[in-house]
Structure 1
């Protein structure tokens, strides 16, 4: 600001040529102008300092973000790579080096991502790559393929790819699934063998039980003494119990074999009703048009509940199914007007033991429902009937988009 002070000093001598009043007026104006210039310069200096401070903060923030993203990229737990529009790999992390067997220097800006893909998958992956940059729809962000390592070994890989917004670059993560795939195949083969052995054993045991039942029936016709007839009756009961238990192992074996699916509630109940003989008992379905995400054996649950009511409900006349809402949960209700369940046995009936020989079916039902987080409890009143409530958690039920349509199998 020295130049403004010098200007002020240069103008002051001229004041002596003016009248006193003019001189004082001009002098005041000169001083005000000089002061204003000094204030403006001070403000400019303050703005410059603030700008420098903001620039330093932005620089530090940018450096911190770059360091943070570099850390995430390097330590994501998966093989990471950045792919250019022409398929060239411009950056990889250390895990990708482990998966591929190549060093960064051998890959970055030197190798196309398609060279890692087995020939049978290259066209498919290349089409994804091109369509993603053309804004196509229906392009999978996640897919499976097989990678060729530097040593020639082929590995199974899960890949997830997304474009960087506003660019033609994409970032991909690669997970080596080879060992998991092998374990899955081994487990599947072992399960198949165990299932075959179980089926053969069960078939043979049931055949022998059929023979045993036949001999017991013949024995009953050959004796008349009450004591021996009672023995034969008890032996027949044991044989029937063993038969039921062997049949139960087949049902239990099938739980969880297939992935859960969305199933129309009303359809599932109706199919179960069609497979049972209710006699004079009236069965009604007052369920809303909703779908339940559950194991494929859901229908068996409804069958077991009806069978249990018909066998042990006493003089019941009706069984009713309905669907209720409780907050975000859904509740499937099966109730009857039979004998009901004693308060002390409400939990025992679901255990793997007998409450009047009903335990296995209800135990199986609870296991089927539990696969997708559905709980079942008995809340009825003794003497007024049984009431089974199956609570379906949020996300496990939904309204049907097309009422009356067939169950979806997504």
Structure 2
């Protein structure tokens, strides 16, 4: 079904109404005519139309008076003033009364009506687009206003332009709304203001969409921790910043409580471990003396068995000292090249580090990962003379490879070497490596070919690493 634009033409000259109607009907419009302004108002009270075209000079009520009545009673129906008068005063009055367009009558009816038909199409199309835009803006404003997540729009200086209900609730404003001209800095704690200022500058320069945390103070004076993501947008024709907020105060408090509980548990473990190791030292000393004094081969055998078991207990307790520190401190960004350069490389082994300037988000014990990988190469690789560390990106993130020229790992051992207690030594080194990396979602696999050296691939997901210019070092 083809939709025809409905036109109401108003003119006190009946012949002009007939001519206008015939011409525009042939152009594909649906036309109704009225011979006075009052008749047009009566028509509009019973019918609707897409556009009104009205003469200016009419008895009783002229075209601009009609426009004024239409705007008061029927809203923003597109209105075109069609007249032979060209006075500047008429144009000024038409603009003031919010006419959509002004078309002059001329001597050539065909040219004038063709121009008018074109103008009608453009005015109706523009009105339709504007109406759809308003409806769209109203819909999204409603959705944003009533969204569960706090949302703000501020100018580049932090002055508030819009705040939804959730943001007002989170910041506990007096009447549940924000006063015009409020600046977000009024809610930022002094120690976070420098960070907020820095991030505003970053976002205004297009470096946006990253997560930041700030300490804030609500309208009631309650301290809160806020997580924020800023995005540079256009708002009312000007650059602005869209802020998506989240109150993470409870989460931060829980994290703090867990860290405190872990510290207390670790303190208890340290005291207990110290006492146990003292007892183990006494047992080992006593066994040493007993071996020296014992001349019975059968008894000596049992003494050596006891000594070996006690020594294993001692090693296990030492490992718990390392393992208990996992997750106690917050993960942090660490430069891989710097971490690897701190390793003590034995004489006779060359370490090549071929990495971009990469930093990864990992537990502070990250250095022990590479210390244990080095120890593994030395202990189990045979005559290792060369180790290379390199990086390669893929769609899922980054792979850091630790590769040596030793004897490699047999296929049937690859799935076992990261399990606790497996191996020729303590069986805890690679287990610890896996546990440290897993704290921030990083995984590790052995992918080397037996006989061609060991290769450990550390898989770092997107978002857990950053890189800069290519760099290479040889240690």
Same fold by TM-score greater than 0.5: yes
Q: Residue 334 of structure 2 is aligned with which of 232, 251, 262? A: 262
Matching residue within 428, 432, 445 for 1:360 = 428
Equivalent position SS for 2:349 = strand
Whole-Å separation in 1 of the counterparts to 2:468 and 2:243: 37
**Aligned 8 A contact 1:323 1:330 in 2:** no
| Partner residue, 1:177 | 248
Matched, 1:346 2:417: no
Q: Which runs of 5+ in 1 are unaligned?
A: 7-35, 406-410
Tell me the distance in 1 between the aligned counterparts of 2:375 and 2:120: 85
- TM-score with structure 1 setting the length: 0.70
1:295 Cα deviation after fit: 3.5
- 1:146 aligned residue: 216
Q: Following TM superposition, by how much is the alpha carbon of 1:39 offset from its aligned partner in structure 2, in angstroms?
A: 4.8
In the TM superposition, what whole-angstrom CA distance separates every residue of 1:315-358 from its partner, at most 9, and x where no partner exists? x22243113455534442232434x5443222112112333344
Q: Which of 266, 277, 283 lines up with 2:349 in the alignment?
A: 283
Structure number with the bigger relative contact order (C-alpha 8 A, sep ≥ 6) is 1
Q: Decide whether aligned partners of structure 1 residues 269 and 240 sit closer, same or farther in structure 2, where only a CA change above 3 A counts.
A: farther
Task: Provide the aligned length of Structure 1 versus Structure 2.
Answer: 361
Task: Report the equivalent of 2:383.
Answer: 317
Contact 1:99 1:149 (C-alpha < 8 Å) held by counterparts: no
Task: Say if 1:379 and 1:389, in contact at 8 Å, map to a contact too.
Answer: yes
Secondary structure of 1:273's counterpart equals: coil
1:10: which partner in 2?
Answer: none
> Which residue of 383, 401, 404 maps to 1:332?
401
Measure how far apart 1:388 and its partner are.
2.9
Contact map agreement 2:147 2:164 (CA 8 A) in 1: no
Gapped regions of structure 2 (runs ≥ 5): 1-13, 20-106
Conserved 8 A contact 1:143-1:160: no
More deviation, 185-194/136-145: 136-145
Q: State the alpha-carbon separation in 1 of the partners of residues 134 and 120 from structure 2.
A: 21
Could you say if the C-alpha distance between residues 306 and 164 of structure 1 is closer, same or farther in structure 2, counting changes exceeding 3 Å?
A: closer
> Corresponding residue for 1:62?
133
Contact 2:354 2:473 in 1 (8 A): no
Q: In the aligned structure 1, how far is the partner of 2:126 from the partner of 2:354?
A: 62
Within a 5 Å distance, the mapping from 1:83-232 to structure 2 comes to: 91-102=162-173, 104=175, 107-109=178-180, 112-113=182-183, 117=187, 121=190, 124=193, 128=197, 142=212, 144-150=214-220, 153-158=222-227, 165=234, 167=238, 172-232=243-303
Contact 1:319 / 1:334 at 8 angstroms: preserved in 2?
no
Partners of 2:466 and 2:191 lie apart in 1 by: 40
Q: Please say if residues 160 and 184 of structure 2, whose CA atoms lie closer than 8 Å, have aligned partners that are also in contact.
A: no
- Contact 2:192 2:215 (C-alpha < 8 Å) held by counterparts: no
**What is the TM-score normalised by the length of structure 2?**
0.62
